[in-house]
Amino acid sequence: MEYYSKTAAGISPYTPGERPERPLIKINTNENPYPPSPAALTAACEAAGSTDNPSALRLYSDPDGLEVRQAVVAAEKAAGVVLTPENVFVGNGSDDVLSMCFQAFFPPAGAEDKPLLFPDISYSFYPVYAKLYGVAYQEEPLDEGFAVSNAGYLRPNGGVLLANPNAPTGIYKPLAEIEPILSYCLHKSVVVVDEAYIAFGGVSAATLLPWFPNLLVVRTLSKSHALAGLRVGYALGHPHLIEGLTRIKNSVNPYAVGYLAQKTAVAALLDVGYCAAMTARIVATRERVAQSLARMGFMVLPSAANFLFVTHERVEARQLYECLGAEGIWVRHFDQPRIKNYIRLSIGTDEEMDVFLQRVERELSTIH
Ligand code: PMP
């Protein structure tokens, strides 16, 4: 630590999910079990070029990511949301976009008394960014059913950050409940809605953008488009918020999104039909797995995401996590108050989930 800055020495970094070498089934980081769009794969190969066709990789990528922003606009149009490229910001995964939100919109501790507000149980990266960027924050407890209740958010704040659907619970908060928070914060603070999982259920807050210049919707291609390894995320909002993010990006890493990533993302975004078909498949599997787990005595939270958050009163979650891990089945367990006895499992293929269900059933029978 002797060479570290105070920041590097003091920070507790985010812990990513494990990446076991030869997992039998990897359902611990909410990746999509299906391949990305064939059009995206073709675009990736074409963008990479070959020795006799010197690749554009020699050159810097477009710092403005204009083609990706246009593709986002086209995909949103197909979903009935009318935007222009000035409403879109592109980043190196949504983690990158979120990090820029912290720098662009949330006040540093000490500058004001008003803290950034987010739920006590949510994406565990939020407190890491808040500490890294010195943002004062307050975690608002989810209610007993693990829903985000508005009471904690209708008070002076330096910003609001909500994952919707929330992670790791999977619970979706209807827009009619988000609107009062946006109205309360209007002309005062920015409300970021992290929609990493919106493709798997619920209506996007993007439909509220015309009324709320303080709303920023953050999305990713990691889950719905099966491109976690590509690292592309984006934000939708009023041009002045997009400009705020761009100011930060151009002060840190103007070429944050590489050429390959941009070309692949464009093709993936435009293949709206493929994405919808794969998403529908995952949702159908999710419902089937939820029912099977409920039949085994699990309490399954209602999920609008590509994962389930479950608990069983007769089985310790940690024990189940370890038993499954020993068999090469990787799920996620968070050693955190309130959710210690839950496991989160991503939705894999039907075949993977059948194996998972079989193993869980076997574990339960040995524990009873
Ligand atoms: N937000 C939430 C709620 C997430 O669960 C994740 C994935 N861990 C992200 C954002 C980040 O996704 P990515 O950086 O891959 O776009």
Q: Output the pLDDT for position 15.
A: 87
Averaged pLDDT, 62-86 = 97
Q: What is the pLDDT of residues 112-130, one digit of tens each?
A: 679 999 999 999 999 999 9
Q: What pLDDT score does 111 carry?
A: 63
Ligand 1 centroid, distance to 95 Cα (angstroms): 6
> Which whole number is the average pLDDT over 258-264?
97
Task: Look at residue 57 in the predicted model and tell me its pLDDT.
Answer: 87
Q: Is the Cβ atom of 93 under 6 angstroms away from ligand 1?
A: yes
Mean pLDDT score across all residues of the chain: 95
- Please tell me the predicted confidence (pLDDT) of residue 52: 72
List the residue whose alpha carbon is closest to atom 12 of ligand 1: 94
CA of 120: how far to CAs of 8, 76, 199, 357, in Å? Answer: 24, 31, 24, 30
At 224-241, the pLDDT tens digits run: 999 999 999 999 999 999
Averaged over 277-299, what is the pLDDT? 98
Which of 222, 269, 306, 345 has the most ligand 1 atoms within 8 A of CB, as the residue to mutate?
Answer: 222
Query: Which pLDDT score is estimated for 23?
Result: 80
| Integer angstrom CA distances of residue 193 from 6, 25, 118, 201, 244 | 31, 31, 10, 15, 16
Q: Residues with Cβ < 8 Å from 24, sequence gap 6 or more?
A: 327, 328, 329, 355
Q: How far is the CA of 220 from the centre of ligand 1 (A)?
A: 7
Q: How many contiguous H segments (helices) and E segments (strands) does the chain have? A: 11, 13
220 in contact with ligand 1, CB cutoff 6 A: yes
Residue 160's pLDDT band, with cuts at 50, 70 and 90, is very high
> pLDDT tens for residues 296-344?
999 999 999 999 999 999 999 999 999 999 999 999 999 998 999 999 9
Ligand 1 atom nearest 96 alpha carbon? 14
pLDDT(137) > 80: yes
- Is the Cβ atom of 222 under 6 angstroms away from ligand 1? yes
3-class state of residue 111 by DSSP = coil
123 pocket-lining for ligand 1 (C-beta < 6 Å): yes
Structure tokens at 45: 């190969």
The Cα 44–Cα 222 span in angstroms is 15
Nearest CA to ligand 1 atom 2: 196
Q: Is the CB–ligand 1 distance for residue 196 below 6 Å? A: yes
* Mean pLDDT, range 136-148, rounded to an integer: 96
Residue 94 Cβ < 6 Å to ligand 1: yes
Q: How far is the CA of 306 from the centre of ligand 1 (A)?
A: 12
Per-residue pLDDT tens for 168-227? 999 999 999 999 999 999 999 999 999 999 999 999 999 999 999 999 999 999 999 999
Residues of the chain with pLDDT > 70, as a percent, come to 99
* Residue 162 CB less than 6 A away from ligand 1: no
pTM exceeds 0.95: yes
Q: Identify the weakest region by mean pLDDT among 8-12, 159-163, 171-175.
A: 8-12
- Best residue among 194, 218, 231, 334 to mutate for probing ligand 1, ranked by most atoms within 8 Å of CB: 194
